[in-house]
Structure 1
């Protein structure tokens, strides 16, 4: 019998049912908690580059300049090879595994899994959305909530079917990566300037559309209001008189006025802060910001995250988050779903059991011999290849293929260590971090934004890579200590407790007692 608010077992030979509740400690797999705890370190090691500087710099994944020193290069390539694109697949794999574990527990107790898990996903989506908008745009919880909806439809499939579907998704991701690389190469091969002024030299920049007459004629080619020549045809005068002045009320005159108005709207004040320049350029028809890699976007981030205030930072953060959601729809999100499927399939074949040790060894070798070289090529592509198709494809596909293979390598090695009893103190300590995964994930955002944003130290885009790596290791060590102290007194982390409260619609017991059980983390 558990304490108040925890699930009770009332099993008997008469087929009694069990109240629905969190999974009991006897159902837990220690290796999963340990893997989840280590995944938080890996995710933070990558996220710190987004916390600390403009997202456009992270997307380019360029190495440090030669003048930055050897330690900066070591930090960059160490992170790129062993962390970037490796730990969110691992975390996603564990999320898919957790779904199947919870489904098995709920159905064994006679509960209805789908309504329960839908509430769980809704709560996760709300937490993720709040995290993204109020604190940090790099949130992954919102994406997990929607990928979890898809997994609900696939939860009953056989492991072999899930593996096949994951393979199909990987093929689609490869095609998308190829297409993106090809498009990027074509764009890169285009002339440096493709402004409207080059397409129509007689029309000022941004006025090609404005110079169209009401009936669709191009005023830069012919002016219907101009006098006819001796043959009765309209003279091609560009809407101007022989003296070079626009005909009053003619298309060229109208276009000139509209161009003047447009120019005044598009050009910000000289003393405008970068945030205001960014907003103006987002509205501009002639010189619109093209993406996070645009210098105006980067300057806006530096402005609002260093100096605030709340509303400007909220606006820039929301725009950045929206752009990331679009990116997820065409790439990252499908990668997450693929790893959900693999995690669900692995738990169904009892992958974490000591009886599967042969699988663990083989996958560890596969990650080492294939995944690591792919990651090395991906990280080195920026220096091995000029900008173009080969560089773009190897960068993208090296992460998309090498990342999951190295994630499987990590999970296999950790499972071997836990099952064989290697380093029990270390794996146990990291497991407690994993049992408080949601709390620790959000805590990383709180600490990092305090370091880099205006309401704290305001060090945005002013910290070296080496310093960032050192920060991550130090903060994670504090999280290990905090998690172990907390879990010695409490059943759940603070956010895990809140998640359960809103999922099960009753107040779960928080304090640990001799008879209490612990529940599976997110």
Structure 2
């Protein structure tokens, strides 16, 4: 099967399309409810039903971290391709513009931006572009070990704080640390929930003010918190491209074997983690242990397995595959466009549906948004060379207006 369309590698577009759609399956809760509801299903504002818990279980097993991982893999692979086609200064300029897009996204649209981290980590990833597959994998394993150690340290520290609080010996400093660590994962108090709802249902200017004053350093804190894993995934994406995994060059049997091995190791680990999360009722230390630390070693195996299965499922092409690839070619527009549409649906400056839907209802919003991505991306790219934001990003990188419309075929 041919894997390229012009200068593009079609397989990369397909996997990227699945990833940008799948990211919304997790982010939807962060758009629609108080921050703690993302990690703790019991924290959702509407009454928790059995179908909400089942939806959470499906999100945790199939989407949590995996779609972000796929997206990071693809970013690393794309960065490698760009570094082979563009002068180094152009690649760095492209990352600088991505950083600006990310800052605009974070401060003016939505607090869950990943573009700032991708741009900053991307500068580090460029240093590995000439490394071989083995060196890239070794570097990624080291970075994942650091990430695991960081989360394990957070787990033990949170347990010590919990014990001190339960024993009545916690100092004021320890109480403050506990508050800061569990603010966005613990069950919110009635006052905190009301404060969050008032913020997100309030005017847009209040949200922007909140981002600049209360959350201005959140991207840097997040970079330290998960940047190790993000860089590891970018390097694994480079290794996957160089090895032929992401180009579709492997035989079916090799894809099947890799996918089955990855799932056989990672899926049971996720099931165990999910079981302990349910048993603990999402206590703070349990989230740090089972949702954060325990998943770090096995998540890359799940990401690789999903990439293999996506490639296998789309090898023969077809109408749906073409639409998924188009969504991947317009991934930047789809990612930022989704933030605009979701905040328009849930925030007070739009329809104001914040904190009114449970996880099951939100799954319906996700499916509708997926359909919209598939419906608009291909017709647009049939007429134009790039997605609208891809065109803007490219034009800014080259400091000129890039041609947008496709030329009509000339009859001969």
TM-score, structure 2 as length reference = 0.88
Residue in 1 aligned with 2:378?
A: 484
1:379 aligns with 2:274: yes
What pairs up with 1:287-302 in 2 under 5 angstroms? 291-292=183-184, 293=186, 295=189, 297-302=192-197
Matched, 1:140 2:91: no
Match of 2:297 in 1: 401
Give the superposition deviation at 1:513.
Answer: 1.6
Deviations 1:24-58 (A, max 9, x none): 94231111101111111110111111001111232
Q: Deviations over 1:49-68 (max 9, x none)?
A: 10011112324455879973
What corresponds to 2:14 in structure 1? Answer: 34
**1:189 shift after superposition:** 1.1
Of 459, 472, 478, which aligns to 2:353? 459
**Equivalent residues in 2 for 1:105-124, closer than 5 Å:** 105-106=85-86, 113-124=87-98
User: Is residue 67 of structure 2 the alignment partner of residue 128 of structure 1?
Assistant: no
In structure 2, distance between residues paired with 1:288 and 1:147: 29
In structure 2, the partner of 1:497 is: 391
| Partner deviation per Cα, 1:292-324 (whole Å, 9 max, x = no partner) | 456455433211211x22332123334564464
Unaligned runs of 5+ in 1: 1-23, 107-112, 200-205, 207-284, 517-522
Q: Kindly report the root-mean-square deviation, in angstroms, between the aligned alpha carbons of the 2 structures.
A: 2.9
Contact 1:62/1:382 (<8 A) preserved: no
Q: Deviations over 1:335-370 (max 9, x none)?
A: 111000000111122223444224422221123211
How does 1:149-298 map onto structure 2 within 5 Å? 149-192=123-166, 291-292=183-184, 293=186, 295=189, 297-298=192-193
How far apart, CA to CA, are the structure 1 residues paired with 2:134 and 2:82? 20
SS at match of 2:246: coil
Quick one: distance in 2 between partners of 1:297 and 1:320? Answer: 15
Q: Determine if contact 2:34/2:355 at 8 Å carries over to the other structure.
A: yes
Distance 1:506 1:84, change over 3 A: same
1:17 aligns to what? none
Aligned twin of 1:336: 230
1:140 Cα deviation from its structure 2 partner: 0.5
Change (3 A) 1:344 1:481: same
The answer for unaligned runs of 5 or more in structure 2 is none
1:74 partner SS: helix
CA deviation after TM superposition for structure 1 residue 75, in Å: 1.2
Is the 1:63–1:382 contact (alpha carbons within 8 Å) kept by the matching residues of 2? no
SS state at 1:511 partner: coil
**Are 2:39 and 1:70 aligned?**
no
Q: What is the match of residue 265 of structure 2?
A: 370
TM-score, normalised to structure 1's length? Answer: 0.71
| Number of aligned residues | 399
Whole-Å separation in 2 of the counterparts to 1:183 and 1:288 = 13
Of residues 63, 77, 80, the one that matches 1:83 is 63
Return closer, same or farther for 1:378/1:47 CA change in 2, 3 Å cut-off. same
Name the CA distance, whole Å, in 2 between partners of 1:134 and 1:300.
20
How far did residue 194 of structure 1 move? 5.8
Which deviates more from structure 2 when the two are superposed, residues 36-45 or residues 69-78? 69-78
Tell which deviates more after alignment, 71-80 or 439-448.
71-80
Distance 1:128 1:409 in 2: 29
Which entry has the higher C-alpha Rg, 1 or 2?
Answer: 1
| Offset of residue 195 of structure 1 | 7.1
Is this contact kept in 1: 2:95–2:123, CA < 8 A? yes
